[in-house]
Amino acid sequence: MTKQLTTVEESKMTYRPEVHPRHVRVLAYAEARVVLDAALAEAERIGVPASVAVLDAGREPLAFGRQDGAGLLTGEVATGKAFTAISLGTASGDLSVAANTGGDFAALHHATSRNLVTFAGGFPLVDAESGNLVGAIGASGGSLDEDIAIAQAGVAAFLELAR
């Protein structure tokens, strides 16, 4: 059993700067808008009314857009795809087989309080310099291939920002 610290002096004795979190790069709102705008431009280019969500590393919405004609559910699905990508550090579609009945992650949907979306169209945004996850993008409104293309346009814009 761990001894509970009872005084300020005792708590100071446990301070070890080497184990404290370090500052990591944060996805800025302006960057999120560039990512969002690139994805929405791709949706327009291919003729698919879509919703796109960009989340920060804390898994909270930073930028969102729903084009005219996109279904009402597409916003929630796009956000869920991005949430899944940032939470698990992989493309949302990579989990589709593992999350199916009998897969390694079949119970994953029941293990969290927020909905995970395990079909394609969500991608993590990884800082090229540090390798840290700084956010994620999710797209919904078309076929899975169209959603992938829309989200990947946003990822490409993010990567261009780092150059």
Q: Is the pLDDT of residue 40 over 60?
A: yes
Average pLDDT over residues 28-49: 98
Average pLDDT over residues 32-57: 98
Q: What is the pLDDT of residues 80-134, one digit of tens each?
A: 999 999 988 989 888 765 556 665 555 555 555 567 787 899 999 999 888 899 9
Is residue 103 within 8 A of residue 115, CB to CB? The reply is no
Is residue 77 within 8 A of residue 113, CB to CB? The reply is no
Distances (CA, A) of 147 to 8, 70, 99, 103: 53, 12, 20, 24
Task: Supply the range of the domain harboring residue 121.
Answer: 25-161
What SS3 class is residue 105? Answer: coil
Q: Is residue 76 one of the residues assigned to a domain?
A: yes
Average pLDDT over residues 14-33: 72
Q: Is residue 19 one of the residues assigned to a domain?
A: no
Q: What is the pLDDT of residues 136-150, one digit of tens each?
A: 999 999 999 999 999
Q: Is residue 7 one of the residues assigned to a domain?
A: no
Read off the pTM. Answer: 0.80
Q: So what's the pLDDT on residue 111? A: 57
- Rounded Cα–Cα distance for residues 6 and 70 (Å): 56
Q: Is residue 125 one of the residues assigned to a domain?
A: yes
Domain of residue 78, CATH code:
3.30.450.150
Q: Is residue 1 one of the residues assigned to a domain?
A: no
Q: How many domains does the chain have?
A: 1
Q: What is the mean pLDDT of the chain?
A: 84
Q: Is residue 111 one of the residues assigned to a domain?
A: yes
Q: Is the pLDDT of residue 12 over 90?
A: no
Q: Is residue 156 one of the residues assigned to a domain?
A: yes
Q: Is residue 16 one of the residues assigned to a domain?
A: no
- Rounded Cα–Cα distance for residues 162 and 129 (Å): 8
Quick one: what percent of the chain has pLDDT higher than 70? Answer: 74
Q: Is the pLDDT of residue 51 over 50?
A: yes
